[in-house]
Amino acid sequence: MKFKSGLINKLAAQHKQLGVNASIKIADAIDASIERLGLSADISPINKLAAAIELGDFIIHKHIDESVLVVDGSTTIDTFVMNFFKSLSDDVVGTSDSIYKFDTTKGFNHTTAISSHVATALSKPLQDEAALSDTFTLLTDKSFLDGSSVSDSDVLAVGKYLANAASLVEELRYALSRGISDGSAATDKTALITEKHLDDITVFADDAVLLSQSYVNAFYFADDYTGTSRTG
Amino acid sequence: MGLTANFGSSTSTSDGEVAYGTLGTYKYVQGDTGPQMRFTFTDEDTGLLTDLTGAVVTLRLRPTGGSTVLTRELFVNSGAATNGEATVIWQEGDLDITPGTYEAEIEVILSSGLRVTLFDVVVLRIRADF
């Protein structure tokens, strides 16, 4: 190669001095001569290499690839490809995470549903004194909801509490009325006995006037007639 | 791609070893893993980018005048091998070496099996880490 190049340069210089541009013919002649000598005249597409150097962080994903390689043992090429898609899919994964977060929120909603059950349970304990502690628990749950149900529970609790109080008063009134009526009955019995006793006396007095049973005057029979009398 | 006459411009040293030049001098701190070094290979005659498809590019590092202490294959992106680019990706511990002046030789084995080594070397100066 160097021989051929040097020969071309020398021949070219000579023809330049002669004012003849025959470099192409000379090159062809030399190629033909080399070929006749059995030498390879093929020219490699690669001559001497030159290199330019830059400093920087050119392959950022390379380190990430290696980390992934440690984790799953995938080959370097596969890891590199996977890492490339990972960098692209990070955003997508983020979106997916957000969706999962919504699911988490739904989970809290489920919890809220449980608290609603608690609220239902609270209404019953409100009928007795246990309702106070249940109401406190309900307030805690309602801070997660909207707080409106807190006031609702209060209204419900008050209504029931008043109803219970009313029932107690009514029971007391029934007891009092009975006491009064018993007394009245005793009075009535006493009066009834008194009147019956007077009526008996009157009947006996009327029976004494049986003189009218005779259809004649009593004075008519003067001495020898004696009327028949009865005692009833 | 024509033939070129290259009679060489290198000179001989006093002890007979052929002198060679440097592609550049770069400074690192002991234990560094960056920055990376990207080589862009071209044909010295034509200036065309060297197709590194199927090529293996290797860096060999040694203290100046010493023995090789590190051999590191450069990364060639298979998807852009025609760009002639190969990158030195320093691994953990590669530069965790005794501070001093080192020289790196770059060797390219093309897919045809042709071995081409850059005549000039890359000089690395390593200083001690705190």
pLDDT (0 to 100) of residue B34: 85
Cross-chain residue pair B119–A47, CB shorter than 8 Å: no
Distant-in-sequence contacts of A57-62, Cβ < 8 A, 24+ apart: A57/B34, A57/B35, A57/B36, A58/B36, A58/B38, A58/B87, A59/B36, A59/B75, A59/B77, A59/B87, A59/B89, A61/A87, A62/B75, A62/B89
Distance from CA of B73 to the nearest CA of A (A): 14
Higher-confidence position of A216 and B5: A216
Determine the average pLDDT of the residues in A118-130: 50
* Residue B1 with chain A: CB contacts under 8 Å: 43, 45, 47
pLDDT (0 to 100) of residue B108: 93
Q: Searching chain B, which residue's CA lies closest to the CA of residue A44?
A: B1
Interface of A with B (CB under 8 A): 1-2, 4-6, 8-9, 43-59, 62-63, 77
Q: Are A118 and A137 in contact (CB under 8 A)?
A: yes
Q: What is the pLDDT of residues A164-209, one digit of tens each?
A: 444 444 444 544 555 444 444 444 444 444 444 444 454 544 555 4
pLDDT (0 to 100) of residue A222: 60
* Residue B23 with chain A: CB contacts under 8 Å: 51, 53
Distance from CA of B2 to the nearest CA of A (A): 8
Q: Which of A67-71, A223-227, B14-18 has the lowest mean pLDDT?
A: A67-71
Cross-chain residue pair A62–B89, CB shorter than 8 Å: yes
Q: Please, which pLDDT band fits residue B96 given cuts at 50, 70 and 90?
A: very high
Computed over every residue of chain B, the mean pLDDT equals: 84
Higher-confidence position of B73 and A216: B73
Strand partners, B106: B59
Residue in this structure with the two tokens 């997660």, named with its chain if needed: A144
pLDDT (0 to 100) of residue B126: 94
Which amino acid, A94? G
Distance from CA of B65 to the nearest CA of A (A): 22
pLDDT (0 to 100) of residue A37: 65
Q: Which of A120-124, A133-137, A175-179, B115-119 has the highest mean pLDDT?
A: B115-119
pLDDT (0 to 100) of residue B7: 32
pLDDT (0 to 100) of residue B101: 95
Determine the average pLDDT of the residues in A116-131: 49
pLDDT (0 to 100) of residue B19: 83
pLDDT (0 to 100) of residue A41: 47
Give me the percent of chain A exceeding a pLDDT of 90.
0
Q: What is the pLDDT of residues B20-71, one digit of tens each?
A: 888 899 999 999 988 999 999 998 888 889 999 999 999 999 998 889 999 9
Strands B22-29 and B121-127: parallel
Interface of B with A (CB under 8 A): 1-7, 23-24, 26, 34-46, 50, 75, 77-78, 87, 89, 106, 108, 110, 114, 116, 118-119, 122
pLDDT (0 to 100) of residue B127: 94
Give me the percent of chain B exceeding a pLDDT of 90.
52
Is A6 a residue whose pLDDT tops 60?
yes
HSE-CB of B118 using CA atoms within 13 angstroms: 26
Cross-chain residue pair A48–B5, CB shorter than 8 Å: no
Q: How far apart are CA B76 and CA A181, in angstroms?
A: 114
